[in-house]
């Protein structure tokens, strides 16, 4: 999905979101909110909401796209920047931590760290590229958190790196912008909302389990967000852009939910 045009009219969208907010605030408990987001609407519900003939593939795609964008807005509304994902003891780390990508492990990019430059673009004051030594010289934190894959499995790992909010402040990013997008050395790309970018557990991961980030896990740097599903955590990042233009993503453009909250 590479258009900025809304899939529904502004007035219709406001009414849908208003009704959803009232319903959720009035009826949903924390656990039922999670079930609502996980299960979404049935095809019957889509038909009632959109008035579409679901025997028509075009109508199905249009309806599902509208519901996906609606779900994005609802998840964005429910997102709490002060809510932290669970953390675990190091004894609970999954060993070995699984490799996962749209290609085989031996096809992961082999990047020369000495030549690496992280580019920043868009709504930022300082567009100077960053070297690995510069990133490693910034304040580092670590977390033992769970990676949740949309395929149904999960694993616990220990990630260390720079709080992403600190990096965004360092480059003079417009923190009121809507999106942060990522382009990667393996041709992957994705984007996130600014609220998630500023979450205290969102980090630019430079290490895994106390060691320099291995190639298979995203060397020289990946974004680690325990509040997002795995496909929202890009590896081998080369370009970070701050933008108000909807950027989409590799899997999102193929129908995956854009917000991707875990």
Which sequence spans correspond to the domains of the chain? 88-95+110-252
pLDDT for the residue numbered 194: 96
Q: Does residue 156 have a pLDDT over 50?
A: yes
Residue pointed to by tokens 């909110």: 33
pLDDT band of 132, cuts 50, 70, 90: very high
Distance CA 236, CA 172 (A): 23
Q: What is the pLDDT of residues 26-37, one digit of tens each?
A: 444 444 444 444
Distance CA 120, CA 255 (A): 27
88-95+110-252 to CATH, choices 3.90.1420.10, 3.90.420.10, 3.30.499.10, 3.40.605.10: 3.90.420.10
Distance CA 131, CA 118 (A): 6
Q: Does residue 100 have a pLDDT over 60?
A: yes
- Which of 6-20, 119-133, 194-208, 218-232 is least confident? 6-20
Q: What is the pLDDT of residues 180-221, one digit of tens each?
A: 999 999 999 999 999 999 999 999 999 999 999 999 999 999
């Amino acid at each position: 999905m590479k258009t900025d045009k809304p899939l529904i009219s502004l007035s219709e969208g406001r009414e849908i979101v208003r009704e959803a907010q009232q319903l959720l605030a009035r009826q949903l408990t924390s656990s039922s909110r999670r079930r609502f987001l996980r299960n979404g609407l049935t095809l019957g519900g889509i038909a009632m909401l959109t008035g579409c003939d679901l025997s028509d593939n075009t109508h199905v795609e249009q309806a599902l796209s509208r519901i996906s964008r609606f779900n994005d807005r609802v998840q964005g509304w429910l997102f709490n920047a002060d809510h932290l994902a669970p953390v675990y003891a190091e004894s609970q780390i999954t060993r070995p931590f699984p490799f996962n990508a749209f290609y085989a492990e031996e096809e992961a990019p082999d990047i020369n760290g000495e030549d690496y430059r992280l580019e920043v673009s868009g709504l930022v004051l300082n567009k100077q590229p960053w070297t690995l030594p510069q990133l490693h010289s910034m304040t580092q934190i670590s977390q033992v958190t769970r990676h949740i894959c949309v395929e149904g499995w999960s694993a616990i790992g220990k990630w260390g790196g720079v709080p992403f909010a600190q990096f965004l402040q360092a480059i003079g990013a417009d923190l009121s912008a809507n999106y942060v997008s990522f382009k990667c050395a393996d041709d992957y790309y994705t984007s996130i909302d600014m609220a998630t970018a500023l979450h205290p557990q969102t980090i630019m991961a430079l290490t895994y389990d106390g060691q320099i980030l291995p190639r298979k896990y995203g060397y020289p740097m990946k974004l680690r967000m325990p509040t997002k599903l795995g496909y929202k955590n890009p590896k081998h990042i080369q370009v970070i852009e701050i933008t108000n233009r909807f950027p989409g993503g590799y899997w999102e453009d193929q129908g995956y939910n854009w917000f991707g909250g875990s």
